[in-house]
Chain A
Amino acid sequence: AQSVTQPDIHITVSEGASLELRCNYSYGATPYLFWYVQSPGQGLQLLLKYFSGDTLVQGIKGFEAEFKRSQSSFNLRKPSVHWSDAAEYFCAVGIYNQGGKLIFGQGTELSVKP
């Protein structure tokens, strides 16, 4: 069965520090992978997505993610975190031929210390 796991429920980092949010997926075919961000009181916004090709993808707001097929992972990174990055982050996998259905992970809440 398809699934997405985000092992970290809550992460706190200092402003200016680097960030890595983990995502592992289980999917039988080539995965389409997404990272979304949800700021407090808002809906979700797409950060980046991976379909094929270069395994390192760049997104908005200085984020990047690396697809590693051998580890079934799609971890999100940012070299220097800003206070405005405090939000909840969701990893998702797109399901082929099911009307654009996405399977989401549980989410990781990011807090940023001054």
Chain B
Amino acid sequence: DVKVTQSSRYLVKRTGEKVFLECVQDMDHENMFWYRQDPGLGLRLIYFSYDVKMKEKGDIPEGYSVSREKKERFSLILESASTNQTSMYLCASSLRGLGEGRETQYFGPGTRLLVL
């Protein structure tokens, strides 16, 4: 059974803190993604990676960075958290790199981040 896990379900941080969100998949997938989900806006892509040490900006990368040192792990970093980064963060993975767009994405349960 496919599995994407995220390090925390709920997180509370203070403005200016550095925040790490971790995502691990056990399916040997090449692609990994970070989204944020806000009411009425759906899912917006922050960053994605199609291989180890490779990363591509998504639609809303400002204020975020990512790290992928191992195939199974993709980290999202908020260098200096701000209140407008309060959101639900979802990680996903899919099988092939630079694919045709057909790949099913498998999602983790999400991390709800509150920045005070």
Which A residues fall within an 8 A CB radius of B?
Answer: 6, 9, 32, 34, 36, 41-46, 49, 51, 90, 93-102, 104-107
B31 and A43: CB pair below 8 A? no
Say whether A43 contacts B43, CB under 8 Å: no
Complex CA–CA separation, A100 to B95 (angstroms): 9
Contact (Cβ within 8 A) B101 A101 = yes
Partner of B107, one of A45, A98, A99: A45
Q: Which parts of B96-116 form the interface with A (CB within 8 Å)?
A: 96-110
- Given A32-B101, A32-B102, A43 and B4 touching (CB < 8 A)? yes
23 contacts between A and B (CB under 8 A): A6-B42, A32-B101, A34-B104, A44-B92, A90-B42, A93-B101, A96-B100, A97-B98, A97-B99, A99-B49, A99-B50, A99-B98, A100-B31, A100-B33, A100-B96, A100-B99, A100-B103, A101-B33, A101-B45, A101-B48, A102-B105, A104-B35, A107-B43
Q: How far, in whole Å, are A96 and B49 apart by their CA atoms in the complex?
A: 15
Considering the complex, give the chain B residue whose CB is closest to the CB of A27. Answer: B101
* B positions within 8 Å CB-CB of A: 4, 31, 33, 35, 40-45, 48-50, 56, 58, 90, 92, 94-110
Please report the C-alpha to C-alpha distance between residue A102 and residue B105 in the assembled complex, in whole angstroms. Answer: 9
> Which has the most chain B C-beta neighbours within 10 Å: A42, A43, A90?
A43
Within the assembled complex, what's the spacing in Å between the Cα atoms of A98 and B45?
12
Report how far A54 CA is from B96 CA in the complex, Å. 25
Known contacts A42-B109, A43-B4, A44-B107: A97-B101 contact under CB 8 Å: yes
B109: chain A residues at CB < 8 Å are: 41-43
A46–B93 alpha-carbon span in the complex (Å): 13
Whether A43 lies near B103 (C-beta < 8 A) is no
Closest chain-B Cβ to A84's Cβ sits at a distance in Å of 18
A46 touches B40 (CB 8 A): no
Q: For residue A107, which residues in chain B have a CB less than 8 angstroms away from its CB?
A: 40, 42-43
Query: Which has the most chain B C-beta neighbours within 10 Å: A44, A90, A100?
Result: A100
A98 / chain B contacts, CB cutoff of 8 Å: 98, 101
Q: Do B101 and A96 have beta carbons less than 8 Å apart?
A: yes
